[in-house]
């Protein structure tokens, strides 16, 4: 006599792609991408609805993405370091502070960095890189993640950085502003990890 085989009933929902929700929300991409993707939470919500619709209709993977930033170059190294430390908020904040210091050296010209004080900043960066095991590769034009101007005023940030009159003030400003950026990224953005063939 033949046995009756019971098939599992298909779920209405696609497989959960949430990796961690705090401090940064990381989700796995179920479409082909070799880079991390940064997306506003409002757009991510729509994308997750789209994934659900595709799953219900058995149409495969996502073909169109809402507006997003593909994190390439030095930003790829920054997000990789953040992802590897995704369960340790304190360490993630330190990594983003380090990224802020590096950003100051490469993009935010402060008069202090045209003096021999630049050596102190360089030493601080090298020490933190070693402690945190972080390295950047590729183009070094941008190490911090893009932020919508509704959430963060980059021009104001550049101005505050350029007006810092001492290293102590410069370090404190970078710490304060990278913490502010970190909080915005935590509240307003989702990061999708590389998917499928990555």
| Domain range list for the chain | 88-188
pLDDT of res. 77: 97
Q: What are 109's two structure tokens?
A: 């010209």
> pLDDT tens digits, residue range 62-75?
667 888 999 999 99
Q: Cα 119–120–122 angle (5° rounding)? A: 60
| Regions in the chain scoring below 70 on pLDDT | 1-14, 58-63, 196-198
pLDDT of res. 35: 95
Q: Which residues contact 31 (CB under 8 A, 6 or more apart)?
A: 61, 62, 63, 65, 195, 196
189-193/25-28 β-pairing: parallel
């Amino acid at each position: 006599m033949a046995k009756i085989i019971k098939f599992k009933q298909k779920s209405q929902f696609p497989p959960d792609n949430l990796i961690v929700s705090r401090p940064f929300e990381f989700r796995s991409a179920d479409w082909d991408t070799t880079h991390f993707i940064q997306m506003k939470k409002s757009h991510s919500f729509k994308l997750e609805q789209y994934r659900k619709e595709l799953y219900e209709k058995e149409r495969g993977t996502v073909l169109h993405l809402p507006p997003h930033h593909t994190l390439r170059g030095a930003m790829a190294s920054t997000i990789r370091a953040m992802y590897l430390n995704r369960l340790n908020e304190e360490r993630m904040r330190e990594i983003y502070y380090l990224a802020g210091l590096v950003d100051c050296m490469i993009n935010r010209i402060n008069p202090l960095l045209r003096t021999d004080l630049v050596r102190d900043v360089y030493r601080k960066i090298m020490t933190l890189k070693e402690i945190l095991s972080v390295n950047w590769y590729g183009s070094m034009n941008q190490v911090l993640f893009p932020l919508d101007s509704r959430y963060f005023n980059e021009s104001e940030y550049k101005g505050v950085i350029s007006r810092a009159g001492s290293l102590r003030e410069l370090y404190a400003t970078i710490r304060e502003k990278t913490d502010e950026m970190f909080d915005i990224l935590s509240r307003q953005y989702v990061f999708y990890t590389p998917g499928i063939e990555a």
